[in-house]
A and B are shown apart, each in its own frame.
Chain A
């Protein structure tokens, strides 16, 4: 994805993922999934993340619940990025995303559409919205890996 995205394109990507999120749904057999609930005190976000894992490979990733534009779009993009990736690869993507959000050096080659959140730090109160899904997935992976 070119770094020279116009603001209009960035907005369009966010709105597309907000209005038609591909991964916002509750899986049928929840018991097969590793899940976590994430909620935020400074926004309305209250989401569940569902990950189906085989041999530390993310096979499926979904979320449901109440979420704002930013968290919906951000979590939806996250799901699209980690499917088919190993835990290690997923953690690398999450790490790069967070580096970008916090205005640190990051590897944009793994972030694809997620780079539309590159300026979130300008609206610091919304950083939590942009990262809530990523924090949840990181928790699931780290917790599972430990066991």
Chain B
């Protein structure tokens, strides 16, 4: 089992004993973002302090060096998810990745006859871009039913597919309910019907082994900052032949081979085709360090540890009077809950007053609310550096809750 106490030494946020409301910070909002280990900060610094130069402009050594580093990063990331290097597109994050697919692929090829399938549990990033495709093409958006717990099964996927279905867009792990779905089986079913699978990997890639070739998934996206990397950098994986067919979202420098005054343009091949403008180069340096760091810990180890800690957390949380846990049987380190009679936001504010960071609200999954029949929920989410002491502090605060509104007065 991995040792969270040893790993915490790699993070200044822990070494510094970061305070919140005069308490040691207990950070249980890892589904939202994650802390950055020293190696990531150093990699970003290395670019900013010692290696600043633009890429694709290789007349001098500094540029050449940056080009090499960016391509090395692509190599590390392709290894991290089992892709080929030329299938890794740098984006600003999952939202941009999915928008790229929506506008560049679906917007181009779908018609009013076609249909896209999503679920009620998807994050806004995996809903709203498809609504846009509907606006552009007139295609239909439909929802694959979830089971009573909120899980998506391959059987219901198969049932939901019609002759018009062209794309299925689902999260491998949803950000509120935290079920791990069987992407491999879903891809098998989808491909049998000629349907593409777009997978939102934001909550899965940081926490479990993901191999795109093994899954045979057509597109997969994830965000750097949820896997200990910098913000503003993320990845779109696409099968090369699909990336070739896809249009870029942005055009400009660094993505064209040639153009003339008649408007004839020849784009570069993927992935460069999608990387117009100067990229987030320090972000790429940082993301490389992050995926290598997480890879060294091992995502199998991370998954094993999180499963273990999740069980502990559920057991402790059950001791809290009036607690409602919405996803007790889920797989990932995301626990969604409320305390009966306490408004979710007030509970989160109360925990803030005790130095505990959780998330309340609708967690960017606003259509899930109709499934949960709740206006808002609280979400606590863990990572490999979360300790039993974090959980104890959290549960202890919940038990002592009582008058939650005191956070405003005390």
The answer to whether the Cβ of A109 comes within 8 Å of any Cβ in the partner chain is no
The answer to whether the Cβ of A43 comes within 8 Å of any Cβ in the partner chain is yes
Of the candidates B21, B405, B410, the one having the most CB atoms from chain A within 10 angstroms of its own CB is B405
Residues of A within 8 Å of B349, CB to CB, are: 123, 125-126
Chain A, range 26-44, C-beta contacts under 8 Å to B: 42-44
**Which of A42, A44, A122 sits near B408, CB closer than 8 Å?**
A122
- State A2–B408 Cα separation when bound (angstroms): 18
As a 0/1 sequence over residues 259 to 299 of chain B, the CB contacts with chain A under 8 angstroms (1 = contact) are 00000000000000000000000000000000000000000
As a 0/1 sequence over residues 107 to 138 of chain A, the CB contacts with chain B under 8 angstroms (1 = contact) are 00000000001011011011001000000000
How many residues in A have their beta carbons less than 8 Å from beta carbons of B?
20
Q: Assuming the A-B contacts A11-B403, A43-B361, A44-B376, are A119 and B346 also in contact, with contact meaning beta carbons closer than 8 angstroms in the complex?
A: no
Residues of B within 8 Å of A68, CB to CB, are: 343, 345-346, 376
Chain A residue nearest to B369 in the complex (CB) = A44
As a 0/1 sequence over residues 225 to 239 of chain B, the CB contacts with chain A under 8 angstroms (1 = contact) are 000000000000000
The answer to whether the Cβ of B353 comes within 8 Å of any Cβ in the partner chain is yes
Of the candidates B375, B409, B410, the one having the most CB atoms from chain A within 10 angstroms of its own CB is B409
Q: Assuming the A-B contacts A11-B403, A126-B345, are A119 and B409 also in contact, with contact meaning beta carbons closer than 8 angstroms in the complex?
A: yes
As a 0/1 sequence over residues 344 to 373 of chain B, the CB contacts with chain A under 8 angstroms (1 = contact) are 111011001100000001100000000000
Are B405 and A129 in contact, with the CB atoms below 8 A? no
Chain A residue nearest to B21 in the complex (CB) = A122
Chain B, range 16-52, C-beta contacts under 8 Å to A: 21
Are B405 and A69 in contact, with the CB atoms below 8 A? yes
Are A44 and B362 in contact, with the CB atoms below 8 A? yes
The answer to whether the Cβ of A100 comes within 8 Å of any Cβ in the partner chain is no
Count A-B pairs with CB separation below 8 Å: 54
Residues of A within 8 Å of B21, CB to CB, are: 122
Chain B residue nearest to A69 in the complex (CB) = B343
Are B345 and A43 in contact, with the CB atoms below 8 A? yes
Q: How close is B60's CB to chain A, nearest CB, in angstroms? A: 45
Residues of B within 8 Å of A43, CB to CB, are: 345, 361
The answer to whether the Cβ of A70 comes within 8 Å of any Cβ in the partner chain is yes
Q: How close is A130's CB to chain B, nearest CB, in angstroms? A: 9
- State A92–B352 Cα separation when bound (angstroms): 32
Are A15 and B345 in contact, with the CB atoms below 8 A? no
The answer to whether the Cβ of A61 comes within 8 Å of any Cβ in the partner chain is no
Residues of B within 8 Å of A142, CB to CB, are: none
The answer to whether the Cβ of B406 comes within 8 Å of any Cβ in the partner chain is yes
- State A70–B349 Cα separation when bound (angstroms): 11
- State A55–B93 Cα separation when bound (angstroms): 52
Q: How close is B39's CB to chain A, nearest CB, in angstroms? A: 31
Q: Assuming the A-B contacts A43-B361, A68-B345, are A123 and B352 also in contact, with contact meaning beta carbons closer than 8 angstroms in the complex?
A: yes
- State A117–B405 Cα separation when bound (angstroms): 11
Are A119 and B375 in contact, with the CB atoms below 8 A? no
- State A68–B410 Cα separation when bound (angstroms): 20
Residues of B within 8 Å of A53, CB to CB, are: none
Are B375 and A122 in contact, with the CB atoms below 8 A? no
Q: How close is A117's CB to chain B, nearest CB, in angstroms? A: 8
The answer to whether the Cβ of B136 comes within 8 Å of any Cβ in the partner chain is no
Residues of A within 8 Å of B346, CB to CB, are: 68-70
The answer to whether the Cβ of B393 comes within 8 Å of any Cβ in the partner chain is no
- State A120–B353 Cα separation when bound (angstroms): 12
- State A117–B407 Cα separation when bound (angstroms): 11
Are B345 and A129 in contact, with the CB atoms below 8 A? yes
Are A69 and B406 in contact, with the CB atoms below 8 A? no
Residues of A within 8 Å of B353, CB to CB, are: 122-123
- State A43–B376 Cα separation when bound (angstroms): 9
**Which of A44, A122, A129 sits near B407, CB closer than 8 Å?**
A122
Q: Assuming the A-B contacts A44-B362, A68-B345, are A11 and B406 also in contact, with contact meaning beta carbons closer than 8 angstroms in the complex?
A: yes
Q: How close is B125's CB to chain A, nearest CB, in angstroms? A: 14
- State A77–B348 Cα separation when bound (angstroms): 23
Q: How close is A81's CB to chain B, nearest CB, in angstroms? A: 19
Q: Assuming the A-B contacts A44-B362, A44-B376, A123-B353, are A7 and B409 also in contact, with contact meaning beta carbons closer than 8 angstroms in the complex?
A: yes
Q: How close is B358's CB to chain A, nearest CB, in angstroms? A: 12
- State A44–B360 Cα separation when bound (angstroms): 9
Are B352 and A44 in contact, with the CB atoms below 8 A? no
Are A70 and B345 in contact, with the CB atoms below 8 A? yes
- State A117–B349 Cα separation when bound (angstroms): 14
Are B345 and A69 in contact, with the CB atoms below 8 A? yes
Chain B residue nearest to A5 in the complex (CB) = B409
Chain B residue nearest to A117 in the complex (CB) = B408
Are A44 and B345 in contact, with the CB atoms below 8 A? yes
Q: How close is A64's CB to chain B, nearest CB, in angstroms? A: 14
Interface residues of A (CB under 8 A from B): 7, 10-11, 14-15, 42-44, 66, 68-70, 117, 119-120, 122-123, 125-126, 129
3 nearest interchain CB pairs? A7-B409, A68-B345, A11-B405
Please list 30 pairs of residues, one from A and one from B, whose beta carbons are closer than 8 Å in the complex, sorted by A's number: A7-B406, A7-B410, A11-B403, A11-B405, A11-B406, A11-B408, A11-B409, A14-B405, A15-B405, A42-B361, A44-B344, A44-B361, A44-B375, A66-B375, A68-B345, A68-B346, A68-B376, A70-B346, A117-B408, A119-B408, A119-B409, A120-B408, A122-B408, A123-B352, A123-B353, A123-B407, A125-B349, A125-B352, A126-B349, A129-B345
